[in-house]
Amino acid sequence: MTAQTDDSKSERLALIRPLFGLDVALALYDPQGDLPLPLPEEAACLSPNAVSKRRREFAAGRAAARAAMADLGLPPCAIPVGPKRAPVWPTGVTGSITHTRSCAAAVAALPGEDLRALGIDVEEDTPLENKLIPSICSPREQDWLKRQENPGQMAKVIFSAKEAAYKCQYAISERFFGFDGMELELDTARGHFLAEFTGEQPPFAKGTKIAGCYAIGAGLITTGAELRTGGLQ
């Protein structure tokens, strides 16, 4: 496998950047390229048995996170893994990390009265396996997929959007739940989605919706969710 070119990185940045507000910093790293080593506190979070692919994607995600924080004018610091396996951001920062075979991405922001949390997910632009669809998509979502031109690709969008929305809410609730904990409404004309809680997940009430966006291109399916005070429905 070869590392991505500067043109490819620019294409991917242009794809993902519009998914988030201008107050959100974004950075990308290529797991297959030259990478800075994780900081010692981060490396200690990896299993000694972690394979090379896992180590490279982890390093790329942490490098992207520090680059995003640098864009906010913040000094570099470790982002270890917490007891629930989520990234632990420094006090006063909200962020999200994602990585796949060919791309690691991170977003970071300084939370305020409007912005409370972020979620990002990046997936390779390949169809979701049919056998996985029933465990990820609700019956209503499956009915919607049957009407789509490329149901496998759109099933991957649903998977990715739920991942982004889940990361976003987890920053506030610290609660785990499965793919049936949210149901999506997708606006394919605008590349927008709403992720609705199907049950109560304190402090989120059943029926609360988190807004997000998605984009497909440069070999990726990318999704972003923002928890903004004015955006909750």
β-sheet with 115-124: strand ranges across: 115-124, 220-228, 209-217, 192-197, 182-187
Tens digit of pLDDT for each residue in 38-83? 999 998 998 888 899 999 999 999 999 999 999 999 998 999 998 8
CA–CA distance, 145 with 30 (Å, rounded to integer)? 32
β-sheet with 94-99: strand ranges across: 25-29, 104-109, 94-99
* DSSP secondary structure letter of residue 86: S
| DSSP one-letter string for 150-179 | SHHHHHHHHHHHHHHHHHHHHHHH-----G
* DSSP secondary structure letter of residue 140: H
User: Do 120-228 and 6-114 fall under one CATH topology?
Assistant: yes
**pLDDT band at residue 11 under the 50/70/90 scheme:** very high
Tens digit of pLDDT for each residue in 126-172? 999 999 999 999 999 999 999 999 999 999 999 999 999 999 999 99
Q: Is the pLDDT of residue 1 over 60?
A: no
pTM of the model: 0.93
Q: Options 4.10.260, 1.10.10, 3.90.470, 3.10.350; which CATH number does 120-228 get?
A: 3.90.470
**For the chain, domain boundaries:** 6-114, 120-228
Q: Tell me yes or no: is domain 6-114 CATH 3.90.470.
A: yes
CA–CA distance, 111 with 148 (Å, rounded to integer)? 37
Query: Which residue type does 6 have?
Result: D
Alpha helix segments (H runs only) across the chain: 6-16, 40-43, 52-71, 133-136, 139-146, 151-173
Mean pLDDT lowest for which of 31-35, 72-76, 226-230?
A: 226-230
